[in-house]
A and B are shown apart, each in its own frame.
Chain A
Amino acid sequence: MDSPLRPASTLCRSPDGDADDGNALPSGVAEPTLAEFFAATVTDGAVTGFVCSQLAAVVASGKPVLWVQDRLTQRETGKPFPPGLPQGLKLILVTVNRAVDVVWSMEEGLNCSAVGAVLGEVWGDPAALDFTATKRLAMRAEAHGIPALLIRRAAQPNLSAARQRWRIASLPARLDPDDNRAPGAALWQADLFRARGRAPGQWVAGPGPAGVVLSHHLHMETGHSPALRATG
């Protein structure tokens, strides 16, 4: 398998490693394989923001994103709203009833070379999303070079063949330079708890112009800090 992942030697050696491991961070853009993202809470928008920020390369390529939602996810967390999504993102939204249809639709999308990325949202731990299904998704994504991003809510990180498994939560936003009472740019707690070919790690992440910006050290200018759980 021609994995586009970076070799392990360049990856960070330790999640709480030295300050000079900036080049060892994950790239911050969606890689052509299957990655799972677990939301800390159901109504937390951090996972959506984290995944959408990774689509910068897809947006630049001009290819559409196939976004598959099951109906419970759509009812509990809403539909994607293009005015808030990255500018220029082409979107095809698929709404299905069952998790097995999410998996099938994602596979169809991964078979299509004209699709830039496939994004799926699954609620809970359905039986259809077992190791075989995730393995099929991962292999198709790697065979066609299309990123497959799977957002899980109200889910346990059970057995899965996803090459990267993240847990995403919100952190207090940066200060708004113009209004000290308003939330500024978003910050997320990104926890890569299982990864193939690299060591896991925890980072503070935020949206950047070319993808997610991961850093171990938060430049502390936030006012209140009730939930600064890990800053690396």
Chain B
Amino acid sequence: MTEEMHARILPFPARPHATAGAAAALPLHMPHVSQTIPAALQGPLLRPLSVIRLAQVQAIRAWAGALELDAPEGKAAQVGSRAVSRAGSGLGSRWSCLTDHASSVAGAMPHHRMKDEPHPGSPVIARRGGDPSAAGSDRASVPVGGTAPDAPPSTQARSRRIVSIHLTDFAMDRWLRSAAARQDAPPDDLPVVLATDGPHGPVVSATNRAGRMAGVRCGLRVVDMRALCPGLHVVPADPDGDRAVLDRLVLWARRWCPWTAPDGPDGIVMDATGSDHLWGGPAEMLRAIEGSLGALGFASRPAMAPTRGAAWALARHGAVRAVAMPDTLATLTAPLPVQALRLDPATVLLLQRLGLGTIGDIVAVPRGSLARRFADAPPMQHPLARLDQLQGRLPEPVNATYDPPRFAVQARLAEPVQDPTPLLPDLCAALCQALADAGHGARRLTLTVYRTDAEVSTVTAATARASRDPDHLRRLFDDRLTRIDPGFGFELVTLAAATSEPMTIGQTRLDGGTEGGAVLAQMVDRLSARLGPQAIRTPARRPSHIPERSLGWALALSQAPRGTIPWTWMDRPLRLYDMPEEIFVLYALPEGPPAQFRWRRVTCRIARFAGPERIAPEWWSDRPGTRLRDYYRIEDDVCRRLWIYRDGVYGDDHRDPPRWFVHGIYG
């Protein structure tokens, strides 16, 4: 679609004050509006008929003027619209495809073709999944056919400054960043991919520059890419972690403007209206954003536009740091591909098959044709809806998430003190008051003391469930403040709830007692504060039948204790060694039961045994060559009851003879 056609046919601003008169003067017959429009489209598409007619009339009139036809107004409409249809047929396949037999009778066309006369020379494209009768009923119900473009959006809608940031390699950048923090960053020339689970094995979800140079592409299977690039380093992707980091990044981006929100899995959108001048203008602001994100290790492409859709499109498909103003919006977005409209791949494919490759092409097509052609599309996958969002006809505000509240209190001292302990009760009470006012409870507390010689020390305590009990929070710091080196004394002490979460008031029991879970959580808090959270654990069952793997130990801070379930019907020992201890066994038969063993330098004879119980390795997670285990429950001559196993059997594929281990102790 050329710019000329685009300019001639479509954009006609409707002047509201001229609407009534012009519409009254031109008795055009329009089909009736029906209710088959997707709900989301009704706003922009269902304008008052007078406006639609006026715009149409103006389009026709302009077109007629272009053809130098001088006719009375009433006829000019028909002549002009005939000219439109002629131009449509002359345009060839692109227009003809759109004016299929259903749409050809729409309101866009003059009413001499309102009957079932196919347009001569225009190929008929059957509607997908629709029968002729349905098409016929559609015909009468198509509402907005061929409306020339609506009145342009108000200047208020277009005066916003929306910034969209596309983090081009977000997942890989994040992994590289964490690897660098672990001192484990791969060399730059090592191809690395992040893999997610697919229906037929792992699939590449992200790759680094070396991987791209080697020909690795996202969306393909890891095995195929390994064939292409044998030295590929595969790391499992972590979408949840990416999401959490993106959420934090969204809050971090509030340094530029107060309205920021995540936009898809790898984007940030922010409403910078009124704050761009603080950064020296749009271009400077985008440069600052790109630079700051680059310093964090995230490659980004920011763009600014009056609408969210346009900013999204320019950030992903436009020029580097593109800035679109209301007057340049149309020209900057016209050459962008239709993928920039945030459509699903099926819709994009259909548009490309129709010959509509760019946004400019879609703009040039009469709306009615598109509306009918994509009547089956979901509301927000309709090209017109997305186009309206891009052009500002359909509002799409940035829904910023709330900044999580921060709670901190401080004690500023007139003179340095050596011991912060006496200050703690007041600090805790003040902090808990602030938490109670906001309906929150603290999960993690940080006490920071500032020494007079500019040294800063922090003590951190965590809680298993949100708490705002001053006494409990104070006790978490018992015996821990003495480890702070006071130096010449502290002059400032702050207590902050580094992590807090909403907390509802629990119902206490009628007899004055408190709920058991809260009391238990407070005990876990105190133990964790003194011994470290790693020391307090609760058992967590895991899906495995290897004994040591069937049981995990979760942090008690994060998981409440649960009742144990018997794992199997087999008898299991009371105690289990983390690392099985090797023993030396005498036996009568290699495959038979043990007769005597030597454990911890003591030789014991085996009096009775039960077994073997064979536990095979888990081929899906064990390394090749892992041997099976034959477990015996034995009782020795000093009446100890042990759980021992033979690692492997004689005659398997290993050269080494099987070894024996003690794994558990029975009661």
Residues of A within 8 A of B (CB): 41, 43-46, 48-50, 52-53, 62-64, 66, 74, 77-85, 87-96, 101, 104-105, 108-109, 111-115, 169-173, 176, 179, 181-183, 186, 188, 207, 224, 226-227
Could you say which of A63, A79, A173 contacts B575, with CB atoms under 8 Å apart?
A: A79
Asked if B182 is an interface residue, CB under 8 A from chain A, the answer is no
The answer on a CB contact under 8 Å between B519 and A81 is no
The answer on a CB contact under 8 Å between A94 and B641 is no
Q: Which residues on B sit within 8 Å (CB–CB) of A88?
A: 563-564
Against A, the Cβ 8 Å flags (1 = close, 0 = not) of B562-596 are 11111110011111111000000000000000000
**Assuming the A-B contacts A48-B665, A80-B574, A92-B537, are A108 and B641 also in contact, with contact meaning beta carbons closer than 8 angstroms in the complex?**
no
The answer on a CB contact under 8 Å between B667 and A53 is yes
The B529-562 residues at the A interface (CB cut-off 8 A) are 530-531, 535-539, 547, 550-551, 553, 556, 561-562
Q: Could you list 16 A-B pairs, sorted by A, with CB under 8 Å? A: A45-B573, A45-B641, A52-B574, A66-B523, A78-B578, A81-B573, A82-B551, A84-B572, A85-B574, A89-B564, A90-B561, A90-B564, A104-B530, A113-B513, A181-B609, A182-B633
**Assuming the A-B contacts A78-B578, A83-B567, A94-B531, are A111 and B607 also in contact, with contact meaning beta carbons closer than 8 angstroms in the complex?**
no
Asked if B372 is an interface residue, CB under 8 A from chain A, the answer is no
The answer on a CB contact under 8 Å between A105 and B531 is yes
- Among B609, B634, B667: residue with most chain A CB under 10 A: B667
Q: Which residues on A sit within 8 Å (CB–CB) of B295?
A: none
Q: Which residues on B sit within 8 Å (CB–CB) of A186?
A: 641, 666-667
The answer on a CB contact under 8 Å between A170 and B561 is no
Asked if B608 is an interface residue, CB under 8 A from chain A, the answer is yes
Q: CA of A94 to CA of B535 in the docked complex: distance in angstroms?
A: 5
The answer on a CB contact under 8 Å between B666 and A45 is yes
Q: Which residues on A sit within 8 Å (CB–CB) of B539?
A: 82, 91, 93
Could you say which of B563, B566, B567, B640 contacts A43, with CB atoms under 8 Å apart?
A: B640
The answer on a CB contact under 8 Å between A45 and B575 is yes
Asked if B527 is an interface residue, CB under 8 A from chain A, the answer is yes
Smallest CB–CB gap between A179 and chain B, Å? 6
Against A, the Cβ 8 Å flags (1 = close, 0 = not) of B501-529 are 00000000000010011011011101100
The answer on a CB contact under 8 Å between B553 and A108 is no
Q: CA of A206 to CA of B666 in the docked complex: distance in angstroms?
A: 13
Against A, the Cβ 8 Å flags (1 = close, 0 = not) of B183-216 are 0000000000000000000000000000000000
Smallest CB–CB gap between A154 and chain B, Å? 13
Asked if B66 is an interface residue, CB under 8 A from chain A, the answer is no
The answer on a CB contact under 8 Å between A63 and B640 is no
Q: Which residues on A sit within 8 Å (CB–CB) of B600?
A: 43
The answer on a CB contact under 8 Å between B523 and A43 is no
**Assuming the A-B contacts A81-B572, A90-B561, A173-B635, are A114 and B641 also in contact, with contact meaning beta carbons closer than 8 angstroms in the complex?**
no
Query: Count the A-B residue pairs with Cβ separation under 8 angstroms: how many?
Result: 184
Tell me the nearest residue of chain B to A182, going by C-beta: B610
**Assuming the A-B contacts A105-B531, A179-B610, are A84 and B519 also in contact, with contact meaning beta carbons closer than 8 angstroms in the complex?**
no
Q: CA of A49 to CA of B574 in the docked complex: distance in angstroms?
A: 7
Asked if B638 is an interface residue, CB under 8 A from chain A, the answer is yes
The answer on a CB contact under 8 Å between B564 and A113 is no
Tell me the nearest residue of chain B to A84, going by C-beta: B572
Tell me the nearest residue of chain B to A44, going by C-beta: B640
Q: Which residues on B sit within 8 Å (CB–CB) of A183?
A: 608-610, 633-635, 641
Q: CA of A142 to CA of B63 in the docked complex: distance in angstroms?
A: 99
Q: CA of A80 to CA of B575 in the docked complex: distance in angstroms?
A: 4
The answer on a CB contact under 8 Å between A114 and B640 is no
Smallest CB–CB gap between B537 and chain A, Å? 5
Asked if B282 is an interface residue, CB under 8 A from chain A, the answer is no
The answer on a CB contact under 8 Å between A92 and B556 is yes
Q: Which residues on A sit within 8 Å (CB–CB) of B575?
A: 45, 48, 77-81, 84
Q: CA of A84 to CA of B566 in the docked complex: distance in angstroms?
A: 7
**Assuming the A-B contacts A78-B575, A114-B523, are A96 and B564 also in contact, with contact meaning beta carbons closer than 8 angstroms in the complex?**
no
The answer on a CB contact under 8 Å between A78 and B639 is no
The answer on a CB contact under 8 Å between B564 and A87 is yes
Q: Which residues on A sit within 8 Å (CB–CB) of B573?
A: 45, 81, 84
Q: Which residues on B sit within 8 Å (CB–CB) of A112?
A: 519-520, 522-523
The answer on a CB contact under 8 Å between B577 and A78 is yes
Q: Which residues on A sit within 8 Å (CB–CB) of B530?
A: 101, 104
Smallest CB–CB gap between B544 and chain A, Å? 12
Q: Which residues on A sit within 8 Å (CB–CB) of B547?
A: 81, 83
Smallest CB–CB gap between B656 and chain A, Å? 26
Tell me the nearest residue of chain A to B528, going by C-beta: A94
The B405-464 residues at the A interface (CB cut-off 8 A) are none
The answer on a CB contact under 8 Å between B566 and A83 is yes
Q: Which residues on A sit within 8 Å (CB–CB) of B516?
A: 63, 113-114
Smallest CB–CB gap between A225 and chain B, Å? 10
Q: CA of A224 to CA of B666 in the docked complex: distance in angstroms?
A: 19
Could you say which of A101, A105, A170, A188 contacts B638, with CB atoms under 8 Å apart?
A: A170
The answer on a CB contact under 8 Å between A84 and B608 is no
The answer on a CB contact under 8 Å between A82 and B519 is no
7 A-B pairs closest in CB distance: A49-B667, A182-B610, A170-B639, A81-B576, A83-B567, A45-B665, A84-B572
Asked if B637 is an interface residue, CB under 8 A from chain A, the answer is yes
Q: CA of A63 to CA of B637 in the docked complex: distance in angstroms?
A: 38
Smallest CB–CB gap between A192 and chain B, Å? 18
Could you say which of A62, A79, A171, A227 contacts B578, with CB atoms under 8 Å apart?
A: A79
Q: Which residues on A sit within 8 Å (CB–CB) of B633?
A: 182-183
Tell me the nearest residue of chain A to B580, going by C-beta: A78
Q: Which residues on A sit within 8 Å (CB–CB) of B568?
A: 83
**Assuming the A-B contacts A77-B665, A114-B516, A227-B638, are A92 and B535 also in contact, with contact meaning beta carbons closer than 8 angstroms in the complex?**
no
Q: Which residues on B sit within 8 Å (CB–CB) of A173?
A: 608, 635, 639, 641
The answer on a CB contact under 8 Å between B574 and A48 is yes
Q: Which residues on A sit within 8 Å (CB–CB) of B567?
A: 83
Q: Which residues on A sit within 8 Å (CB–CB) of B666?
A: 45, 49, 84, 186
Asked if B664 is an interface residue, CB under 8 A from chain A, the answer is yes
The answer on a CB contact under 8 Å between B641 and A93 is no
Tell me the nearest residue of chain B to A93, going by C-beta: B537
Smallest CB–CB gap between B662 and chain A, Å? 9
Could you say which of B531, B564, B571, B639 contacts A227, with CB atoms under 8 Å apart?
A: B639
Could you say which of B517, B553, B577, B599 contacts A93, with CB atoms under 8 Å apart?
A: B553
Q: Which residues on B sit within 8 Å (CB–CB) of A224?
A: 607
Tell me the nearest residue of chain B to A170, going by C-beta: B639
Q: Which residues on A sit within 8 Å (CB–CB) of B527?
A: 94, 105, 108
The answer on a CB contact under 8 Å between A92 and B536 is yes
The answer on a CB contact under 8 Å between B523 and A115 is yes
Q: Which residues on A sit within 8 Å (CB–CB) of B637?
A: 226
Q: Which residues on A sit within 8 Å (CB–CB) of B531?
A: 94, 96, 101, 105
**Assuming the A-B contacts A81-B574, A83-B572, A170-B640, are A114 and B665 also in contact, with contact meaning beta carbons closer than 8 angstroms in the complex?**
no
Smallest CB–CB gap between B410 and chain A, Å? 30
Q: CA of A173 to CA of B571 in the docked complex: distance in angstroms?
A: 14
The answer on a CB contact under 8 Å between B578 and A182 is no
Tell me the nearest residue of chain B to A172, going by C-beta: B639
Tell me the nearest residue of chain B to A179, going by C-beta: B610
Q: Which residues on B sit within 8 Å (CB–CB) of A78?
A: 575-578, 664-665
Q: Which residues on A sit within 8 Å (CB–CB) of B664?
A: 78, 81, 84
Q: CA of A53 to CA of B664 in the docked complex: distance in angstroms?
A: 18
The answer on a CB contact under 8 Å between B520 and A114 is yes
Q: CA of A45 to CA of B634 in the docked complex: distance in angstroms?
A: 13
Smallest CB–CB gap between A100 and chain B, Å? 11
Smallest CB–CB gap between B561 and chain A, Å? 4
The answer on a CB contact under 8 Å between A171 and B563 is no
Q: Which residues on B sit within 8 Å (CB–CB) of A169?
A: 639
**Assuming the A-B contacts A83-B564, A101-B531, are A92 and B574 also in contact, with contact meaning beta carbons closer than 8 angstroms in the complex?**
no
Could you say which of B526, B566, B599, B667 contacts A52, with CB atoms under 8 Å apart?
A: B667
Smallest CB–CB gap between A207 and chain B, Å? 7
Q: CA of A84 to CA of B666 in the docked complex: distance in angstroms?
A: 8
Against A, the Cβ 8 Å flags (1 = close, 0 = not) of B212-252 are 00000000000000000000000000000000000000000
The answer on a CB contact under 8 Å between B520 and A64 is yes
Smallest CB–CB gap between A87 and chain B, Å? 6
Q: CA of A206 to CA of B547 in the docked complex: distance in angstroms?
A: 26
- Among B564, B567, B571: residue with most chain A CB under 10 A: B564
